[in-house]
Structure 1
Amino acid sequence: MSSNEHRHEDRTPGEHRGSALAEAGTYFLGLVLALGLTAISFWAIRTHMLWGPGVPIGLCVLAIAQMGIHLVFFLHITSGPDNTNNVLALAFGVLIVFLVVAGSLWIMANLNANMMPMPAMMSPQTQP
């Protein structure tokens, strides 16, 4: 087996394989996996078979798995050397989203700490 043939077989699921039928198959597999994870998360909320406090943790795990499915099968984020720009763009996007969310939470926490309490704000103010 030559090195080119070995490299051709050693691919991640979201990587382009060349034929349109194979690409459609990977999209279909990603769709089935994503729908399966969605159905499992709805099942986890509605069932009483799971320990109550463990449901949010399970949903977080399922959400992270779903993000992984989307990244690999639909956005074709792989670990190949030709995919470095996509990974850097994804990391930059995650950084920006984190900064916006963290900054918003910080601003809201400071506003909450510096606001006048509601009963004092609602009472009529008397001037001397």
Structure 2
Amino acid sequence: MSISARAGRRAVAGAMGAGAIAGAMLFAALPSALADDPAQNPPNCSAADLSGVSSGVAASTSAYLFTHPDVNYFFTSLEGLPRDEVRTKVAEYMDANPGPKADLTGIRQPLVDLKNRCGAAPAPAIP
């Protein structure tokens, strides 16, 4: 079965949106830590470091979602919902699906490590 180009674009947009939501929830405080005087920042805490790690996590998340159609479908189905509803649905899904929760937590770990090394506030627990 072939999916249409529009459906393919929507799936990719959904995957990227899910990654963006996850990144925004986990790393809202990191840019302020990176904006401080570079001489006072720990090594490897520049905007370039954040961008590089973020792009790697985004690529890994995309690959995971393409190889796990059920998880991809779930995140794609969140498109257009209010942010509070997305948070609730993601928390419920992750509670009901510990495998994908562990997989996605592992994929995001490099961003968590960067955040911890660079002195930003701790990441909220995954619902």
User: What interval of TM-score do these two structures reach, taking the shorter chain for normalisation?
Assistant: 0.3 to 0.5
Q: Which has the higher contact order (CA 8 A, sep 6+)?
A: 2
TM-score (norm 1): 0.32
Q: Of Structure 1 and Structure 2, which has the larger fraction of its residues in helix?
A: 1
Higher radius of gyration, 1 or 2? 1
